[in-house]
A = this chain, B = another copy of it.
Amino acid sequence: MVVTFGEIMMRLQPPGYQRLSQTKSYDAVFGGGEANVAVSLANFGIDAKFVTKLPDNPIGAACKGELARWGVDTSDIVLGGGRMGLYFCEKGASQRASVVVYDRAGSAVAMAKPAEFDWEKIFSGASRFHFTGITPALSDDMAAAVTEACIAAKGMGVKISCDLNYRKKLWSRQKAKEVMTKYMPYIELLISNEEDAHDVFGITAQKTDITKGEIDIEGYKSVAEQLADFGIPKVAITLRESISASRNNWSALLLADGEFFVSKKYAIDLVDRVGGGDSFGAGLIYGILSGMTSAESLEFAVGASTLKHTIEGDFNIVDSSEVHKLVSGDGSGRVQR
């Protein structure tokens, strides 16, 4: 079983390409870095448990039900006070970027106390633990809870993965660096993109302008190496070339036990890019758990996350056979009859 721990929010999004100022209705989906990883793993057939705190009201119940609907173990979700964190998201198109208005303050999980999570019980039967940089950014209590989780996991032989995922509206770079640095010794697999590595640790890839969509592989390799210097066995970097809000190129590299792997690159017509990075993490974890080689795991992860970009909602609702089919070369999009 893989355990993930963090925040899950309601995303309120105008239908189609409407702006927030135009809409009369919102499509509502639930998602969050760690929940997305759990759902994707469950869809791959891996036992996955998501741990969080939700408000004890119909909105919290709807969220919990949605996780159960995709096969996630919700038995260790805490119910209680606080609200459902949410955000308004307007989908970009072509030269118009997506816009996000966060409204996550005061959420049940941000106000949770470390003692509400019983890690020994939670990790019983678990082989891996995953969290992202968003979880400790929510509050000092959540940062402390992550510390406790890491210690417990290590003690129980549970391997730990982390996606850096820096959120500037939640904490400063300085605070992020300070807190995240403490977790690094526990991490077996670290996932990042160039921006996050820079925002959290000040690590930079030379010659790359993320707003131009050009990729400099050598620069990214150097980022991975600097991250691995924390003593982390596996470091993965996702590489997004944003041509526009409608088109992205997507690939990744992996530094595993000193060896570099660079994936195939996909040119994607975007349906919904939220959760793209999370689905990469889930794909990588699945590859590792399934005994794939590092190269295979990386290709699986990039293929899985490519598919995520074509699916509405945060969750990567694909099974492993669909990913294998894409990775094995059929991206032609011919009808599956």
What residues of chain A have their CB less than 8 Å away from a CB belonging to chain B?
12, 15-29, 57-59, 61-62, 65-66, 68-71, 83-84, 88, 90, 92-103, 105-106, 167-169, 210-213, 242-247, 266, 268-271, 273, 306-307, 309-313, 317-318, 322, 326, 329-337
Q: Which chain B positions have C-beta within 8 A of A18?
A: 312
Interchain CA distance A310-B17 in the complex, whole Å: 8
Q: List 28 A-B contacts (CB under 8 A).
A: A17-B310, A19-B58, A22-B317, A23-B28, A24-B27, A24-B28, A25-B28, A26-B26, A59-B88, A65-B71, A69-B69, A92-B333, A92-B335, A94-B271, A94-B333, A97-B332, A97-B334, A97-B335, A98-B333, A98-B334, A99-B336, A100-B337, A106-B106, A210-B332, A211-B329, A211-B334, A244-B332, A245-B333
Supply 19 further A-B pairs (C-beta < 8 A) apart from A26-B26, A94-B268, A95-B266.
A17-B271, A19-B317, A20-B62, A21-B58, A24-B27, A25-B25, A25-B28, A58-B99, A59-B88, A69-B69, A95-B268, A95-B331, A97-B335, A97-B336, A100-B335, A102-B337, A211-B332, A211-B334, A247-B269
A95 touches B307 (CB 8 A): yes
A336 touches B17 (CB 8 A): no
Q: Which chain B positions have C-beta within 8 A of A103?
A: 83-84
Q: Which chain B positions have C-beta within 8 A of A21?
A: 58, 61-62, 65, 317
Q: Which chain B positions have C-beta within 8 A of A68?
A: 68-69, 71
Partner of A20, one of B26, B58, B332, B335: B58
Which single residue of chain B is at the shortest CB-CB distance from A241?
B332
**How many Å from the CB of A63 to the closest CB on chain B?**
10
A333 touches B66 (CB 8 A): no
Which single residue of chain B is at the shortest CB-CB distance from A248?
B333
Interchain CA distance A52-B285 in the complex, whole Å: 33
Interface centre among A27, A96, A313, A326 (most CB of B within 10 A): A96
Which single residue of chain B is at the shortest CB-CB distance from A272?
B17
Which single residue of chain B is at the shortest CB-CB distance from A16?
B312
Q: Which chain B positions have C-beta within 8 A of A59?
A: 20, 88, 101
Which single residue of chain B is at the shortest CB-CB distance from A240?
B334
**How many Å from the CB of A312 to the closest CB on chain B?**
6
Partner of A269, one of B69, B71, B244: B244
Interchain CA distance A59-B68 in the complex, whole Å: 17
Interchain CA distance A65-B68 in the complex, whole Å: 8
Assuming the A-B contacts A69-B65, A336-B100, are A24 and B26 also in contact, with contact meaning beta carbons closer than 8 angstroms in the complex? Answer: no
Q: Which chain B positions have C-beta within 8 A of A94?
A: 268-271, 306, 309-310, 333
